[in-house]
Structure formats: structure tokens, C-alpha cells
Amino acid sequence: MKVVMIGSGYVGLVSGACFADFGHDVVCVDKDSKKIDALHKNVMPIYEPGLDTLVQRNVDAGRLSFTTDLTEAVSGADAIFIAVGTPSRRGDGHADLSYVYAAAEEIAKAADDRTVIVTKSTVPVGTGDEVERICGETAPGKTLAVVSNPEFLREGAAIEDFKRPDRIVVGSEEEWAQDVMREIYRPLYLNESPILFTSRRSSELIKYAANAFLATKITFINEMADLCEKVGGNVQDVARGIGLDKRIGPKFLNAGPGYGGSCFPKDTLALLKTAQDNESPVRIVEAVVNANDLRKRAMARKVIAALGGEARGKKVALFGLTFKPNTDDMRDAPSIAVVQALTDAGADITAFDPEGMEEAAKLLPDVVMTDGPYEAASGAHAVVMMTEWDAFRALDLGRIANVMAGDALVDLRNVYNPEDVAKAGLSYSGVGR
């Protein structure tokens, strides 16, 4: 089948490359000519493990191509996926749908009759109805089915998630559109990945509900970590103890500095706005958003406490800057709030991140980026484990102690054993221990 991806960012590029790997003919479209030129040279706009190899393989096989020409790309397409950005709108927290609606209008003008238009972007409930209205007004003589098909990709594991998904959600009640979607996802269906057909509005809500629930799990275990610190418990034991309950499960129960990234912060806010607009408050999600915002600043206070209560004139080294490992994504990363708070307190910051320093430098101009963890730690009064990259899991703690000016190791991801840290001559501060 011929599949077109409108938007060649994280979702569009990963999805397009994976569809091509299934054997479909895929065209990825983007208005950014520099991005398309780079993709023609197999230079990825994002860091995602294995993506460059996957893209090159399918380009070489003739199944994947890139263009800025939407009109030419959609000609003869069976399905056109909208995978453009939906950032939080400034001022009110609503999802900015302007890119989605602009894409829908362009698609409707250029698409053939009886084409399926799929919203892959994360959009609030009712967006599909508006896309359908736009398509009907723009091309009243065409039969265009608007389908919701949310993505559930984890940054750093997106290819695996796409090819071996827990489920595929398709929001459409039109039989012919469902048949097209079944054919597109047939390779996954043969692997027994379940396809859940729902109404379009239910599909849109599933994405937000899933992310809000996962954000709730993260926030819950972080609050249990705070309680553990007060009463003498160990949050890792608590997480293991409740995670063994099959009704709860072990995932997303790692205490840390709070959630960040491109999805959870904006999606929880968008869900809150949808609930408020429909006079159906989601108070649990509201509490999660507030608690997570407070969490990030609290981590800076933990670092200052490890410095003896005074950060002015002290040097702090951050190990990791991205919101999670195996990505260069700095959007809403907890490190941003931590750096801001430490800088406000008078600290000087150095940092090392295996992939995120180029993006981080744009957001954190006062942070001195270094060539490695030992260089970052040199002369530091405190080292902060910010992101649990594999590269930080087996560091020479003795070497770190030797190059530091102080002795504080603040482990915001509970990567290290406190006894091992103490043996190296460092003072340990973890989360929920």
C-alpha cells in the first residue's frame, strides 16, 4: 500500500520507516527543506537508537522517500497520516492544533477520492470531527475518511514499540476505512498484536488517558519516596513490593526527579483543559501536574542540602541532561528546573550528556558542557546523577572522588549502591532511601 506521513519529526519518521520496513511504499513529507535535505543524506533530525540504519535500509530498497511536495506525495495514497507537532499553546495549556488543521486542508485539496486521513498526532477529543469538517468544506466532492490512530512510542525504544506494540488503537466506525487500516497493520496483526477498533473520540481519549495514568504512577512513587525518607523506608523495596501485584505492575515505579519529555507534560495539561472545557474535572490529574512541577524544584533543594545548605560559589556537576536515556530530547527535562534553581542559588554548573548537550546548550546557556563525566566532576563540590544513561552506571567512583573539590554525590535516579559510594570516600544522597 502507499502510505504518506505528513511531518517527518519523531512520530512521522519512526512510523514511516517502520511502515516501509513492513513492505509498504512510504513517502515522508515535511515543509522544512533543511530537514528533508538532511534525510536524503541519512542525517537524522533526532537521536533514536537504530533509526538511521532502518531509514537507510528502506531508502536503499526503494520503499522510503522524502519530499517537501505534499501535493505530489499524496497522489495515489491509500492512507495519509498527519504526524505534525501539537505543542502546548502559550498562555492556556491547550494543545496547539494549527499545524494539524493546516495539514488537513492541504491534504483534502490534493488527496484522491476515497482516501483515509489518519491523525497520528496526539490531539484532544473532538479534533477528528474538526478535521472531518475541514476536509468536507475544502473538498466537498470527495469521500475522505478521517481516522484516529494514536502512537504509543517510548523515546529510546520507539522502533521496538512500533514493531511489537501492546495494542494498535484505531478510531473509526467506517468499514472501508477500517479495512484500509487492517491492511496497513496486517504485518503486526499476524504477530498477534491486537487491533482495538473504537469510536474516533474514544481513540483520541485513550492516548491522553494512558499518558495521564503513567504520569500518575510516576508521581505516586515519587511521593512514596518522600514518605520513605521521613519514616526510614526504602522506596525501591516499596516499589518492588507493590509492583509484584499484577493489578499494579512494576513499570513506571522508579522514583526520581519527576517526569518530563515531549508527551507527559503537554498531554496531562491538554487533558486538564479538555476536562475543564467540558465541566468534568479530573482532579487526580490536576494533582499530578502540580506535584510534578513542585518535584523538580525540590530536587534542587536536595542538592543544596547535600552542599551543606549553601550553593553560592559552589560548583555542581550534572551527569545527564535529557529527560530520559537514549534520546536527545530536552523538552521539559527535569534538569532545566534543577539548573535554574541551582543557578538562582549562586551555583556554577558543569554537565555531560552522551547525546543531549547540543540541544541542552540552547536552553541552558550558562551551563559549561564537558567532554565526559570525569571532566564535569573536576573541581565540583557535588555530582548529581540526573539521567540514568548506561554510560553512568559503572563509573570509577574513586576517580570521581579524587577529582572533586567536595564529596557529595546526589543520586536522583538511585543508580548507585550507597555502600559502594561510601567506600569511594563520597557522601551519598539518594531518592526515597
Report, as residue numbers or ranges, the catalytic residues.
263
Q: What angle do CA 233, 234, 240 make, to 5 degrees?
A: 125
* Residue 289 grid cell: 501536574
Residue closest to 150 by CA, chosen among 217, 96, 82: 82
Residue closest to 39 by CA, chosen among 65, 74, 62, 12: 65
Provide the β-strand partners of residue 350: 317, 368
d(C-alpha 299, C-alpha 342), whole Å: 10
Q: Which residue has the cell 488527496?
A: 111
Q: Give 1-55 as a DSSP string.
A: -EEEEE--SHHHHHHHHHHHHTT-EEEEE-S-HHHHHHHHTT--SS--TTHHHHH
> Which 3-state string (H, E, C) describes 154-200?
CCCCHHHHHHCCCCEEEECCCHHHHHHHHHHCHHHHHCCCCEEEECH
* Residue 169 grid cell: 488503537
List the 2-6 sheet strands across, edge first.
Answer: 64-67, 25-29, 2-6, 79-82, 115-119, 144-148, 168-171, 195-198
Q: Which residue has the cell 512521522?
A: 12
